[in-house]
Amino acid sequence: MELRGKTAFITGGASGIGYALAERCAAEGMTLLLADIEEGALAKAAEALRAHGGAVETYRLDVSDLDQYKAVADAVLADHGAPFLLVNNAGIAWKAPASVATPEDWRWTISVNVLGTGYGISLFVPAMIASGAKGYVLNTASITGLIVSPGTSAVYSASKHAVVAISETLAHELRPLGIGVAVLCPGSVATNITDADRNAPEGLVKGITGAEPHEREFTRSFVGNGISAATVAEQAFEALAEGRFYVITHPEYREEIETRHRQIEGAIHGDPASDVGLLTLAKQMLNLQPLT
């Protein structure tokens, strides 16, 4: 995987996993195009990366704002052409049970975690295809995109399941064109994601912010004791180099993932007669191959 001299566009690049991925890209000699909603953190990240010899440009970006995203994408494409590595990483951990979540909880979480990913794909992937340079797309989901946990994860988990589904279909679309796709599904990683409310729209009081103090402290402690973002970045790059699709950074979730799939398999009682013809046609048309 030759990356030196090529460009990487990374959302949520000022901290956490996004910044760790930026460091890894810099180590490969890539030009970094970092986007983040927090201007101060973005400036500090760029300064730190440049101090170690990284070539960095920054873009203040709220990925949920389509007009703003279009302006950033236009600037990137005009100045640098299509990125070789597109990292749709920006996300929030805004947790609320489905039974009590407000419409605002749903709107903000979906607009950042799902639409932000979709906008990145729509605004950059066509240019990546047209460039003929192949390249890679890495989407950050979560282990909760593969399983669910009881309690407050409904809204967040729904958004991350969507990112996994988007990534799976995109991988099938881009494989014949030589563009690699991987989906990152980490468990607990030591980042500041539990403080997502620092960028919350005014008046939003649910999610982690609305949790009882002891609940919030437990979440912070759990995340703070997670693996390092640098470890996640290293695993992500290994997966890209090896052409692997799923990047599971926490193998200890294997039993939960297998249990969920056994439940789904157990619910299948014979072939639904109404779908047999449709499925056969779909398989013939799509020639679906397993994702590694």
Q: Which residues contact 24 (CB under 8 A, 6 or more apart)?
A: 230, 233, 234, 236, 237
DSSP per residue over 32-78, as a string? Answer: EEEEES-HHHHHHHHHHHHHTT-EEEEEE--TT-HHHHHHHHHHHHH
What is the number of H-type helices and E-type strands within the chain? Answer: 10, 7
Pick the catalytic residue: 19, 59, 119, 156? 156
Length of the chain: 292
Spatial separation of the C-alpha atoms in residues 11 and 59, rounded to whole Å: 9
Q: How far is CA 227 from the centre of its chain?
A: 17
Reduce the DSSP state of residue 102 to 3 states and report it: coil
19 is catalytic: no
Catalytic residues: 156
